[in-house]
Amino acid sequence: MRVLLVEDDLMIGETLTEALQDEAYTADWVKDGKHAILAIETQAYDLILLDLGLPEIDGMGVLKTIRNSKLETPVLILTARDALNDRIKGLDAGADDYVIKPFELGELLARMRVLIRRSQGKAENLLTVGNLSLDTANKRVMLSGKTVIDVTAKEFMLLTTFMLSPDKVLSKNQLEDSLYGWGMEVESNAIEFLIYNLRKKLGHQTIKNVRGLGWYITQQMDDEGHA
């Protein structure tokens, strides 16, 4: 899942970017409202973390631009403005949640999961396709609800992307966008290598290829993860 962090405080920005990457998010970080709007116009995000006190264009201006453009991307405001009137204004302008600085990272991550689940029409942190389950909160992959499969962070991110859209063919570019942020080097066969490893762990027919178009994860699996 890809997140846009809009934050001009360097320490907060660096800490949050690293924490999000550790939690298997792809995080793009911008430091002012102007670049936030440019990012939103050129890249699709699953969630936007938005500071209010920004240079160039303030956070409320960014929020209004997002909602005026009819984007439904969840927006979580991160700000030191703790007055009740500020919170009301932010929520009324289209924010989905409002977190006051300083905040606990665990609570922020939980609130992010709630907003992402809500945007996907899901009630819990568990994604299920056939007999394959993925716990987005505890970062666990299970077969038949009992066998825990060890995966790397990138494999987990890729599997999440597939399981959010079961039976939908996703192109190589779409998969790279979900896994790699700005400035990250992407080897030409990175996606193929990750899919190869996931097939070895989950069953060779779990992720299927449509030649020339991309890959998809199938809903129909047997008890060993095979299609």
| Chain segment 15-58, per-residue pLDDT in tens | 999 999 989 899 999 999 999 999 999 999 999 999 999 999 99
In sequence order, what are the beta bridge partners of 215? 170, 209
**Measured distance CA(158)–CA(154) in Å, rounded:** 6
Q: Which CATH class is domain 2-119?
A: alpha beta
Q: Using one digit for the tens of pLDDT, what is the confidence trace for 176-226?
A: 988 988 877 778 889 999 999 999 998 888 899 999 999 999 865 544 444
Phi-psi region of 3 (alpha: psi -120 to 50; beta: other; left: phi over 0): beta
Q: Per CATH, the architecture of 126-217 is what?
A: Orthogonal Bundle (1.10)
Q: List every span in the chain annotated with CATH 3.40.50.2300.
A: 2-119
Residue range(s) in the chain whose domain bears CATH number 1.10.10.10: 126-217
Give CA–CA dist 125/61, Å, rounded: 32
pLDDT of the residue at 226: 47
| pTM reported for the whole predicted model | 0.80
DSSP state of 97: E
